[in-house]
Every structure is written in structure tokens, then in C-alpha cells.
Amino acid sequence: MNQVREYPDRKELLKEYEFCQISAQSMEKTIWQTSAVMGVGIIGTFLFIGTRSIENQPPWQVAAIVGAFSFLVSLLWWFMARRWWSVQHAMFMRMRHIEQDLGFHSTRYVTYLDDSSTIPESELKREYVQELQKRSEKNGFFGQGHQRKGVQEILIYFPFIVLAAWGFYTLWLYIN
């Protein structure tokens, strides 16, 4: 006979929440470690080749090939990191759902700050709501407010910066 399983109890939800938290942290660590290795490798290669004396510079064709390879590696990393971010955000979404079920708010605070209209005024103390709304109104790009732009929105430029740097370097070699 098939029995219908009841929704997980508080203890099971807390255990799942902890699992999601650990998974999200692991993804974050993976993203930053791989970006550091990739960044050091790409920038190091550029500096190693580009800082040689003029007579020791490679032919422009070599620079073009190395530049294209560096761009493709950084773009490949970007696509892998996007997948890791997607998995990480799935964990965050589940954490928000568990928080909703348990009456918690820790990961939902980011959502509240990104869009203050999502703050559930009935569930939080009035002073908490006011503090969230005040911080949400401030732009955090250069100021003390809430930063809305995510890492993905900034790191998407990295492969194209790599491409531009190698492109200018290759052009410089071609001209000289």
C-alpha cells in the first residue's frame, strides 16, 4: 500500500537548510578558486609575454593564437561559472522556501533589500522593516547602501577585457 509522506517536519527542514547552505558555500568557493587560477594564468601569460624586450617579442601570429586561446578559456570558465551560480541559486531558492515554512528571514533579506516592496511588514518588527527600507533606498554601487549588481553582471566583462588586451597587443606587434 502506498502511503503519502507528510511534509518534512521542522528538524528535517533544518537539516535540509544546512545542506543547502553548505552546498551554496561550496559552489561559491569553487567559483572563486577557479576564477583566481584562471585569472592568474591568463594575466600571468599576458605579462610574461608582453613585458619582454622588443627584440624578444613573439611574432604577432603567436600573440593572436595565445590571445584567442585565452579568450576561449575565459569564456569557457564564464559558462561553467554560470552553471555553478545557477546551482548555487537553486540552493538559495530552496533555503528561502524553507525559511518561509519555518518563519525565518536570513536569505530572504537580500530579496527584501533588492526590492523593498517584498518586505512582509506583518512578519517583522516595524523598526526592522524601516531599517530594510532605508538601506534598500540607497544605491550601494559606490555608497553605503545595498549593492544590487551581482558578480555575474561584472565578471561577464572579463573575457572581453582579455580579448581586447590581447587584440591591442597583437595589433601593436603587427605594426612594429
Q: Give residue 2's pLDDT band: very low, low, confident or very high (50, 70, 90).
A: low
Model pTM score: 0.78
The per-residue pLDDT for 147 is 79
Burial pattern 83-99, b for ≥16 Cβ within 10 A else e, equals eebeebeebbebbbbbb
The per-residue pLDDT for 146 is 77
Between 86-90, 148-152, 158-162, the lowest mean confidence (pLDDT) is in: 148-152
Q: Which residue ranges make up each domain of the chain?
A: 12-47+61-137+148-175
The per-residue pLDDT for 162 is 94
The per-residue pLDDT for 25 is 96
| Rounded Cα–Cα distance for residues 74 and 79 (Å) | 9
Query: Residue 55 class from Cβ within 10 Å (0-12 exposed, 13-18 middle, 19+ buried)?
Result: exposed
The per-residue pLDDT for 34 is 94
Per-residue pLDDT of 87-136, as tens digits, reads 999 999 999 999 999 989 888 888 888 888 888 877 889 999 999 988 88
> Looking at the predicted structure, is the pLDDT value of residue 70 above 90?
yes
> Looking at the predicted structure, is the pLDDT value of residue 49 above 60?
yes
Per-residue pLDDT of 4-36, as tens digits, reads 667 789 999 999 999 999 999 999 999 999 999
C-alpha cell of residue 149 = 549588481
